[in-house]
DNA sequence: AATATTTTTAATCGTTTGATTAATTTTTTA
DNA sequence: TAAAAAATTAATCAAACGATTAAAAATATT
């Protein structure tokens, strides 16, 4: 039977996974030490291997969970049959910015780690269908056929849209260094973008 | 006197630096082994320390050169007093895309490495003045005062502009994996953006 | 309560990695 | 050409690191 301290987030296994998440997200796989993770989790180093066998297996687990969270959360928005194309754009921008606000290390983490073995990591999470069979894409195509937006490549559109959302977080250290922005000022700037990005994107499409 | 084989790019020192550039750019500091660099350069491992003292000193050197190249090359464009604001936008987009085409690993390299110690690395290259005291920014301000473009934040504008250019390269592994694009198709898509980005940016500004 | 199972710890192993050393080869200087 | 200096190599060191082991502690089972 489960004892009180052995459930949910308080279990040792979850503590290690959460710590691994934090450390991996911040430093990446290569720069993360299993000892860092153990210390962050407040457990003995051997326990990490007891529960997860190896650093790499633990990493893959974290990566899958991260990708699932990161792409799963949009899936709900872009596949909602109740909302219009324009509404999706607004919800997508605001929802994604909120998500990244909570976990600002994720974008750079995903981009830099996937570069090493892209297919091996990505095949475990089906992102392709999430995006290309989405209601969002159907509505994009319809809008184009009806002449509501210019004739354009969906890939360009997605690159632009996601780029406008994600890039400031990836470039944050650089931006702060060259602009002298404080953390609070940066956050305010990003907050503004929730409303601005949909406006910009619509301007680009027409 | 200089012997033939001890000049310019053929010198051992330059061979090591070039190899370090390649390896660091592709894998980042933490995942790069000094032995990898030595092998890439075709030299004995000890020579690396003989010329550069340590892995970290070699890295800082590569980083400074990379930043200088990456931000210096724009400096010429955005400070040219002979070109208009619109011309600068076109040249900036095309020039930067060409630069990154030649060295596609640089953006992700800079972003991920700077995250660790931003100020320490960035203080060695004065990017701030390059951007904020540029003719480009003056022309942006003038255009706004003259009502040629909407009232807007220069930081948003720069984030958007640079993001549109750089983000596809950062997200390349992800994009290729989820879209199934070949290398050639990806390159063609990017090539299109040289002309499209100025159009988009202008649409966003008005 | 006694036994079995699971969880946790301290100690340590073997490998990798950055760096050094001492010897050798090559180049420069005198 | 001989001596000095610089460049290069093989061997090795010490620390860091991922992983394992054997014992101890905690929990579950009977």
Q: What domains appear along chain B, each with residue ranges and CATH number?
A: 1-53 (1.10.10.60), 60-205 (1.10.357)
Q: Nucleic chain C: which protein residues 111-140 of A have CB below 7 A from it?
A: none
B72 and chain A in contact, CB less than 8 A: no
Radius of gyration over every alpha carbon of chain A, rounded to an integer in angstroms: 20
Q: Which helix (H) or strand (E) holds B126?
A: none
How many angstroms is C1' of D5 away from CA of B11?
A: 18
* Per-residue model confidence as pLDDT tens digits over A34-85: 999 999 999 999 999 999 999 999 999 999 999 999 999 899 999 999 999 9
A55 and chain B in contact, CB less than 8 A: no
Q: Which of A26, A27, A159 to mutate to test the interface with B (most CBs of B within 10 A)?
A: A159
Q: Nucleic chain C: which protein residues 29-48 of A have CB below 7 A from it?
A: 43-47
* Per-residue model confidence as pLDDT tens digits over B90-127: 999 999 999 999 999 999 999 999 998 767 788 888 88
Q: Which nucleotide is nearest to A1 (CA to C1')?
A: D28
* Per-residue model confidence as pLDDT tens digits over B13-56: 999 999 999 999 999 999 999 999 999 999 999 999 999 999 99
Lowest mean pLDDT among A13-22, A68-77, A137-146, B186-195: A68-77
Q: What is the pLDDT of residue A5?
A: 39
Q: What is the pLDDT of residue A87?
A: 98
A34 touches strand D (CB under 7 A): yes
Beta carbons of A174 and B206 less than 8 Å apart: no
Q: Which nucleotide is nearest to B49 (CA to C1')?
A: C19
Given a contact cutoff of 8 angstroms between Cβ atoms, the answer to whether B109 and B24 are in contact is: yes
B54 touches strand C (CB under 7 A): yes
Beta carbons of A29 and B28 less than 8 Å apart: no
How far is B168 from A113, CA to CA, in rounded Å?
Answer: 16
**Does the interface ipTM go beyond 0.90?**
yes
How many angstroms is C1' of D16 away from CA of B188?
A: 45
Q: What are phi and psi of A136, to 5 degrees?
A: -55, -45
pLDDT class of A9 with cuts at 50, 70, 90: low
Shortest Cα–Cα distance, B44 to chain A (Å) = 24
Chain-wide mean pLDDT for chain A? 93
Local structure of residue B133 (DSSP, 8 states): T
Beta carbons of A170 and B111 less than 8 Å apart: yes
Distances (CA, A) of A57 to A30, A65, B111: 14, 13, 26
B46 and chain A in contact, CB less than 8 A: no
pLDDT of B190 strictly over 90: yes
Residue A108: list chain B partners with CB under 8 A: 111-112, 115
A31 touches strand D (CB under 7 A): no
What's chain A look like in SS3?
Answer: CCCHHHCHHHCHHHHHHHHHHHHHHHHHHHHCCHHHHHHHHCCCHHHHHHHHCCHHHHHHHHHHHHHHHHHHHHHHHHCCCCCCHHHHHHHHHHHHHHHHHHCCCHHHHHHHHHCCCHHHHHCCCCHHHHHHCCHHHHHHHHHHHCCCCCCCCHHHHHHHHHHHHHHHHHCHHHHHHHHCCCHHHHHHHHHHHHHHHHHHHHHHHC
Q: Which of B116, B200, B206 to mutate to test the interface with A (most CBs of A within 10 A)?
A: B200
Largest alpha-carbon pair distance within chain B? Answer: 62
How far is B88 from A9, CA to CA, in rounded Å?
Answer: 53
Beta carbons of B163 and A159 less than 8 Å apart: no
Q: Compute how many other C-beta atoms are within 10 angstroms of the C-beta atom of residue A192.
A: 12
Q: What is the pLDDT of residue B3?
A: 34
Q: How many cross-chain Cβ pairs, A to B, lie less than 8 Å apart? A: 144
């Amino acid at each position: 039977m489960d004892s009180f301290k052995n459930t949910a987030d308080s279990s040792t296994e979850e503590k290690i996974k959460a710590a691994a998440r934090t450390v991996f997200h911040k430093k990446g796989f290569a720069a993360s030490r299993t000892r860092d993770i153990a210390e962050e989790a407040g457990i003995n180093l051997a326990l990490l291997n007891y529960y997860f066998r190896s650093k790499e297996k633990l990493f893959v687990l974290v990566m899958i969970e991260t990708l699932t969270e990161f792409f799963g959360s949009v899936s709900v928005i872009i596949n909602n049959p109740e909302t219009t194309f324009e509404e999706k754009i607004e919800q997508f921008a605001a929802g994604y910015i909120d998500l990244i606000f909570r976990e600002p290390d994720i974008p750079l983490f995903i981009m830099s780690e996937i570069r090493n073995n892209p297919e091996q990591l990505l095949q475990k999470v089906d992102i392709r269908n999430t995006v290309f069979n989405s209601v969002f894409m159907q509505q994009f195509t319809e809008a184009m056929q009806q002449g509501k937006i210019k004739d354009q490549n969906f890939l360009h559109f997605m690159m632009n849209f996601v780029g406008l959302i994600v890039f400031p977080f990836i470039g944050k250290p650089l931006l702060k260094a060259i602009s002298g922005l404080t953390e609070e000022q940066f956050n305010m700037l990003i907050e503004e973008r929730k409303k601005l990005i949909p406006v910009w994107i619509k301007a680009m499409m027409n």
